[in-house]
Amino acid sequence: MAAPPTRLDNRIVLHFDYDCFYASAFEVEQPVLKSLPLAVQQKQIVVTCNYEARRRGLRKLQLISEAKKVCPDVIIVLGEDLTKFRDASKDLYLYLRSFVWGDRVERLGFDELFLDVSDMIEYNVDVLNRNDLENSFFHLDRHDPTIGFAYDATRFHGPTFPPDSEIVSDRLSAAAWSEAETLHIKLLVASHLAGYLRRQLEHQKGYTATVGISTCKAVSKLTGNVHKPNNQTTLLAPYDARENGPESNVIRFLDSHDIQKIPGIGSKLARSLKDHLLNSGRGLDSADGAPPTDNKTTVRDVRLFPGMGPVLLEKILGGPGSPKGIGIRIWNLIHGVDDSEVLEARDFPTQISIEDSYRQLETFEEVRRELIALATSLIRRMRIDLTEKTEVEDQTADSKTDHSLNPKTRWLAHPRTLRLSTRPRPPANSSGVRTYSINRASRSAPLPQYVFNLEENMDALGERLVHDLVIPMFRKLHPEKSGWNLSLLNVAVTNMVESAGEQKRSSGRDIKRMFQQQETILKEWKVPELDSAQPDIDLPVYEDSTWEESDEDEAIPSVICRICSAPIPHFAQAAHEVYHSAPD
Ligand code: DCP
Ligand code: MG
Ligand code: MG
């Protein structure tokens, strides 16, 4: 058996997942909904529902008709227009980002965030007073010791894995400050930061989140799942196994997980691993004496399989089409070692795309009308995500008062390219069943400058853009006169070029000002979001895998999503596509 990978646990990473995100966006607008069962509908499905609805038996990705049966008094709201969720996602991202030193804040889809808080934690561990841990103070600003919050550093905030509340104060008093315990105290301090951020998010923004606290992205994401919703989990040290010492908590935590649940190991890789373990004759019993089972292959089964290591993994998973070094990457992952960094925050997305799916789109007039609607909403989104209000301060007035600021809008970035994509609906096969397709045809062209004119009316710009450019592109994609039977239209701008001038904003530094005029500043900041769920280019780090839960509705016949490999029930395909194509 190959040696386990070397651990480098010098970072602290928090993973945030907002609770019932779309439903919360409605609850924030109408707090009365919080205590009622609430479901968000897209097409014929419940894309999400609040926890009151879940308590009454509703589930994500359930048919609306079924939901109404299960809970007749369910309140249904429409969630096909993603504007509300995009805006909330961006607002919460900017809010949490404003606390973090070093700006390593990465979005994953709409409702997840990774925060690399290593610097803040290191600083706060350094300033702890070992003689009075109970009355500790967490510094949120290096330059102003008054900004922060009081906490008790003799214990963890919130639940831990393994659940253990005894061990802590003991450890801290004795050999606690040795090198080996550094991770322990870092995690402890981080658990208080996570608790504080969750409270702030709830009180200032009205959203609750579930947080995982560990040393890398993959493990903190998984750790968060232990206590859901509105809670947090810290994966306790030690992470490295010691001879005759305590076992590694990461290994203990990961071992019982289905291999497919590991972020970075999607269903395709999991399938190959399962097949190998089952077919290589020795079965799974090598790991724990249990007979091989078809439905669950755990991390432990893979890790302890005879001969397992980076070389064997490369043999099983490598080959044409798979990324280089996949063997070592997966070997690391099953030991909870994920060295992918939390990416530095960006001030604007790498692309913006707007699309809609259709049952029937056959005539030219329909296509033209839809393209104008999409182009207009693309321009609206560009104005939100790619511009910022620069504040010209009136030197003579008190800078704290809002009306002393004279906002002027400027473009942060100019996309150079416009792309049109369409998806023809494949013909029905001989048995009358349509096979599902996500194959898109697309065409790109330079984006004309006039779309950046902020004085011009958006509808007029949308119409002009469609007539000048999008319709000719459409004609090239579909030279036939009619009968295209399209199921999807997508317009996107890509190839962003950052405007010159502005210095990169560094968060942490701004925290004092933020505390003083929190509301004003957050309202005024028009900094666009990071675009992390792009449909067909620049996918996140783990291209061939899923970070998303995929255990919904396993009994329902489903198709495998070609983007994330998750099994998607037939009725949920439309919503699932919306999910992937959401530009941020
Ligand atoms: N979403 C979607 N289609 C999917 C999955 C999710 O449209 N197939 C949307 C609706 C969710 C949001 O994305 O509100 C976030 O997805 P989550 O899986 O995190 O679900 P929730 O945040 O709603 O619930 P939870 O409390 O389980 O995190
Ligand atoms: Mg969520
Ligand atoms: Mg999520």
Looking at residue 445, which CATH number applies to its domain? 3.30.1490.100
Q: Which ligand is nearest to the CA of 563?
A: 1
Q: Which atom of ligand 1 is nearest to the CA of 548?
A: 18
Asked whether residue 342 is domain-assigned, the answer is no
Shared domain for 495 and 573, answered yes or no, is: no
As a dihedral over the C-alpha atoms of residue 260, residue 264, residue 267, residue 272, rounded to 10 degrees, the angle is: -90
- Say yes or no: CB of residue 110 within 6 Å of ligand 1: yes
Pocket residue to mutate for ligand 1, from 85, 92, 111, most atoms within 8 A of Cβ:
111
Asked whether residue 142 is domain-assigned, the answer is yes
Asked whether residue 220 is domain-assigned, the answer is yes
- Can you give the pLDDT at residue 573? 67
Is residue 354 within 8 A of residue 490, CB to CB? The reply is yes
Shared domain for 577 and 481, answered yes or no, is: no
DSSP string, 483-538: ---EEEEEEEEEEEEEPSSPPPP-SSTTHHHHHHSHHHHHHH--PPPP----SSSS
Number of domains in the chain: 3
State how beta strands 13-18 and 209-214 pair.
antiparallel
Using the 3D structure, point to which of 221, 254, 287 is the last residue of a domain: 254
- Say yes or no: CB of residue 17 within 6 Å of ligand 1: yes
- Determine which helix (DSSP H) or strand (DSSP E) holds 393, and give its type and residue range: strand 387-393
Report helix, strand or coil for 39: strand
And the tokens for 517?
């005029």
Is residue 502 within 8 A of residue 78, CB to CB? The reply is no
Q: Spell out which residues have Cβ within 5 A of ligand 3, the ion.
A: 17, 111-112
Chain CA centroid to CA 270, Å: 21
- Can you give the pLDDT at residue 582? 62
Q: Which ligand is nearest to the CA of 85?
A: 1
Distance 370 CA to ligand 1 centre (A): 27
Asked whether residue 154 is domain-assigned, the answer is yes
Report helix, strand or coil for 314: helix
Shared domain for 494 and 551, answered yes or no, is: no
- Can you give the pLDDT at residue 65? 96
Distance 295 CA to ligand 3 centre (A): 24
Asked whether residue 454 is domain-assigned, the answer is yes
Shared domain for 20 and 168, answered yes or no, is: yes
Provide the CATH number for the domain around residue 132: 3.30.70.270
Percentages helix, strand, coil for the chain, rounded to the nearest 5? Answer: 40, 20, 45
Give the chain's residues under pLDDT 50. Answer: 166, 168-170, 172-176, 283-286, 289, 291, 397-404, 502-557
- Say yes or no: CB of residue 138 within 6 Å of ligand 1: no
- Say yes or no: CB of residue 20 within 6 Å of ligand 1: yes
Distance 554 CA to ligand 2 centre (A): 19
Task: Please tell me the distance from the alpha carbon of residue 255 to that of residue 249, in angstroms, as a whole number.
Answer: 10
Shared domain for 129 and 232, answered yes or no, is: yes
Shared domain for 480 and 559, answered yes or no, is: no
- Can you give the pLDDT at residue 435? 56
Using the 3D structure, point to which of 215, 237, 254 is the last residue of a domain: 254
And the tokens for 143?
């330059």
- Say yes or no: CB of residue 22 within 6 Å of ligand 1: yes
Give all strands of the β-sheet with 441-446 in edge-to-edge order.
Answer: 352-357, 486-498, 413-424, 441-446
- Say yes or no: CB of residue 111 within 6 Å of ligand 1: yes
Asked whether residue 474 is domain-assigned, the answer is yes
Shared domain for 28 and 132, answered yes or no, is: yes
And the tokens for 33?
């909904």
Q: Kindly report the average pLDDT of the chain as a whole number.
A: 82
Looking at ligand 1, which residue's alpha carbon is closest to its atom 28? 19
Report helix, strand or coil for 522: helix
Distance 110 CA to ligand 1 centre (A): 9
Using the 3D structure, point to which of 208, 225, 254 is the last residue of a domain: 254
Distance 396 CA to ligand 2 centre (A): 46
- Can you give the pLDDT at residue 156? 95
Asked whether residue 198 is domain-assigned, the answer is yes
Task: Please tell me the distance from the alpha carbon of residue 478 to that of residue 471, in angstroms, as a whole number.
Answer: 10
Q: What is the DSSP-derived secondary structure letter of residue 470?
A: I
Task: Please tell me the distance from the alpha carbon of residue 320 to that of residue 57, in angstroms, as a whole number.
Answer: 44
Q: Which atom of ligand 1 is nearest to the CA of 229?
A: 26
Shared domain for 30 and 151, answered yes or no, is: yes
- Say yes or no: CB of residue 511 within 6 Å of ligand 1: no
Shared domain for 552 and 417, answered yes or no, is: no
Q: Which atom of ligand 1 is nearest to the CA of 23?
A: 14
Distance 20 CA to ligand 1 centre (A): 6
Report helix, strand or coil for 355: strand
- Say yes or no: CB of residue 25 within 6 Å of ligand 1: no
Shared domain for 503 and 552, answered yes or no, is: no
Shared domain for 222 and 125, answered yes or no, is: yes
- Say yes or no: CB of residue 7 within 6 Å of ligand 1: no
Task: Please tell me the distance from the alpha carbon of residue 469 to that of residue 371, in angstroms, as a whole number.
Answer: 11
Q: Which amino acid is at 28?
A: V
Give the CA distances from residue 545 to residues 42, 207, 268, 333, 398, in Å, rounded to whole numbers and listed in that order.
Answer: 25, 28, 7, 13, 52
Task: Please tell me the distance from the alpha carbon of residue 3 to that of residue 309, in angstroms, as a whole number.
Answer: 8
Shared domain for 60 and 134, answered yes or no, is: yes
Asked whether residue 237 is domain-assigned, the answer is yes
Pocket residue to mutate for ligand 1, from 17, 21, 81, most atoms within 8 A of Cβ:
21
Structural domain that includes position 466 = 352-394+403-510
- Can you give the pLDDT at residue 572? 66
